[in-house]
Amino acid sequence: MAFVGSGQSCYNGVNLRSRRRIIVAHYPVDLHVHTTASDGTLTPTEVIELAVAEGVQVIGIADHDTVGGVAEALAAGARLGVEVVPAVELSIQNRIEKDFVELHLLGYGIDHTNPDFVAVLDRVVQARIEQKIAQIKVLQRDGIDVPVEEVFALARGVPGRPHIAQVVLARNPGRFPNKAALFREYLAEGGKAYVPRRFSLRLAEAVDLVVQAGGVPVLAHPGAYPGVSDPAAMVRRARDEAGIRGLEVAYPYDKNRPHYGASPQQVAALISQFADLADSLGLLKTGGSDFHGAGKNIALGEQGLTLEEFACFKSQWPNPKPQSGSVF
Ligand code: AMP
Ligand code: ZN
Ligand code: FE
Ligand code: FE
């Protein structure tokens, strides 16, 4: 934990509070990006090509429970001059009594080739596949047309609820007014087709896994857990009991529950509030868009970091590994 709040000069100077919106409407660093390896709609190469077109210089590939897109993104990044940060977004088992409900843990700078790391992810993905099949069976039992094979063909990589939703909405026109209604009735926690996974990581286990793979464990989007009643207390517990070392401070809260439709001022206030929280707890600050391609109405680089903020974060990684094509 020596690098946390280690007093390096960048730490206090970089606060994410008074940032002007970048003129081109994109941040140059987007550390939270999904690809076809999970539920994004662009391949890793397409993401990097889009980054070049949009002037985003650093991309964190953070797919759900898989590093399957990282190697391709690194190769494309080296070719096209985009710095790629190998990452993952781990889904965490529910611990309702601790307010740890469906948390997401980001791991940055992990060695995506570490065999022990990949072996645990494979177990998580296997449980995820079983969970998705069970969820589809509930929908089918209710007379909804949703073939398992079609969902998995659409997913290509790791299947997620958005893949199920896409097939349900396409094959059952008129049954649900929109995706949100389908999630509410069936797929969201508490919905009829919500099924827990047989194996998933607890927060402390996920933190250890990321650290052992050489990465920095960062709690994702602290304000985007509709089931968490007290985000600040939850973040403190996640640090004290599980050892998270960073907090994803910048995030497009206006495009996600429970702050959907928030004004730019309200989003800035949330970001400021989480920046304060990170500082008071000695946590590193990150940011990203949660870009999913066409899967969400979010642009690449819509939220993220300035180059200075990223340099600060990176200077405090436990094992910084400069890559070719680095902008620093
Ligand atoms: P899964 O990986 O199967 O747990 O699904 C996670 C994905 O489902 C994330 O990308 C979320 O954005 C999406 N998701 C979760 N809850 C909802 C919701 N209520 N409405 C729309 N998308 C959701
Ligand atoms: Zn997703
Ligand atoms: Fe997430
Ligand atoms: Fe995400």
For residue range 119-128, list pLDDT tens digits in order: 999 999 999 9
Q: Are strands 216-219 and 104-108 parallel, antiparallel or unpaired?
A: antiparallel
Which runs of consecutive H residues, i.e. helices, occur in 27-186? Answer: 44-54, 70-80, 115-141, 148-155, 161-171, 179-182
> Which residues touch 163 (CB under 8 Å, ≥6 apart)?
39, 132, 151, 152, 154, 155
| 65 CA closest ligand 1 atom index | 2
Q: Which residues contact 24 (CB under 8 A, 6 or more apart)?
A: 54, 55
- Ligand 1 atom 13 nearest Cα: 162
Strands of the 284-287 sheet, one edge to the other? 29-33, 58-61, 83-91, 104-108, 216-219, 246-250, 284-287
Amino acid at 310: F
Structural contact between residues 261 and 234, judged by C-beta atoms closer than 8 angstroms: no
pLDDT at 189: 82
Q: Are 55 and 24 in contact (CB under 8 A)?
A: yes
Residue 291 DSSP label = B
Distance from the alpha carbon of residue 1 to the mean position of ligand 4, in angstroms? 25
Spatial neighbors of 130 by CB under 8 A, at least 6 apart, are 197, 198
| Mean pLDDT across the chain | 89
A 10 A CB-CB count for 138 gives 17
- CB 61 within 8 Å of CB 44: yes
pLDDT score of 212: 95
Confidence class for position 246, pLDDT limits 50, 70, 90: very high
* Cα 67 to middle of ligand 3, angstroms: 15
Cα–ligand 3 centroid distance for 105 (angstroms): 8
Beta-bridge partners for 33: 61, 291
Distance (Å) from CA 296 to ligand 3 centroid: 12
Q: What global pTM score does this model have?
A: 0.90
How many Cα atoms within 13 Å fall on the side-chain side of residue 266?
11
Q: Is 40 in the pocket of ligand 1 (CB under 6 A)?
A: no
Give the pLDDT score at 328: 30
Q: Is-cis flag, bond preceding 258, omega within 30?
A: yes
Distance 2 CA to ligand 1 centre (A): 35
Nearest bound ligand to the CA of residue 136: 1
Q: Which helix (H) or strand (E) holds 219?
A: strand 216-219
Out of 161, 178, 255, mutate this one to test ligand 1's pocket (max ligand atoms within 8 Å of CB): namely: 161
Model confidence band, residue 13 (pLDDT cutoffs 50, 70, 90): low
Instruction: Give per-residue pLDDT as tens, 247-265.
Output: 999 999 999 989 999 999 9
Q: Categorize the per-residue pLDDT at 295 as very low, low, confident or very high, splitting at 50, 70 and 90.
A: confident
**161 touches ligand 1 (CB under 6 Å):** yes
The response to whether residue 310 sits with its C-beta less than 6 Å from ligand 1 reads no
Q: Please give the single-letter amino acid code of residue 206.
A: A
Determine the Cα–Cα distance for residues 46 and 48; give it in Å rounded to an integer.
Answer: 5
Residue ranges near ligand 3 (ion) with Cβ within 5 Å: 104, 220
- Cα–Cα dist 88/64, whole Å: 6
Cα 21 to ligand 3 centre (Å): 23
Is the minimum distance from the CB of 98 to ligand 1 under 6 angstroms?
Answer: no
Residue 54 token pair = 């949009």
Which ligand 1 atom is at minimum distance from the Cα of 132?
3
**Percentage of residues in the chain with pLDDT exceeding 90?**
79
